């Protein structure tokens, strides 16, 4: 899967949402306020998030904000200690936002992306519910 493949899948399923590109990173939003994305594609390290070593050629990380129950079903009460955040094509807790129930995967392959698709749908649904509750 490429960044473009993933972006196209999310765009096709947005249903009224949109995305923004900033500093080569892509942020997917359900509502118009652009405050809280439900998914992101990050292409480089930052001062506060360098655990995935995204400075490697061709490496990007897909991040998705899921619900608490889903996160715990995937990872239990797992802390992020001991997780290899540089691993390619492996679903894992987000290196910074795991406590907020974000998951991530670096360069997902086709099979892994099939696992992630329902997580993206859940994240979009959660964002829609938040927007509706305003």
Q: What's the farthest any 2 CA atoms get from each other in the chain?
A: 41
Q: pLDDT (tens digit, 9 = 90+) per residue, 39-57?
A: 999 999 998 899 999 999 9
Residue 123 lies in domain: 3-132
**Number of domains forming the structure of the chain:** 1
Whether the model clears a pTM of 0.85, i.e. scores above it, the answer is yes
Whole-number average pLDDT of the chain: 92
User: Is residue 74 packed enough to be buried (19+ CB in 10 Å), middle (13-18) or exposed (0-12)?
Assistant: middle
CATH for 113 = 3.90.1150.30
- Print burial letters for 43-58: b (CB count within 10 Å at least 16), e (below 16): bbbeeebebbebeeee
Q: pLDDT (tens digit, 9 = 90+) per residue, 107-133?
A: 999 999 999 999 999 999 999 888 776
């Amino acid at each position: 899967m490429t960044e473009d493949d993933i972006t196209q899948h999310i765009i096709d399923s947005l249903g009224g949402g949109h995305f923004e590109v900033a500093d080569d990173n892509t942020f997917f939003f359900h509502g118009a306020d652009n405050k809280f994305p439900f998914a992101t594609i990050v292409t480089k390290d930052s001062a506060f998030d360098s655990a995935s070593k995204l400075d490697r050629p061709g490496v990007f990380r897909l991040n998705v904000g899921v619900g608490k129950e889903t996160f715990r079903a995937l990872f239990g009460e797992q802390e992020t200690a001991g997780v290899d955040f540089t691993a390619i094509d492996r679903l894992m807790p987000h290196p910074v936002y795991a406590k907020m129930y974000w998951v991530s995967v670096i360069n997902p392959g086709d099979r892994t992306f099939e696992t992630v698709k329902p997580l993206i749908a859940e994240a979009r649904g959660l964002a829609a519910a938040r927007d509706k509750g305003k």
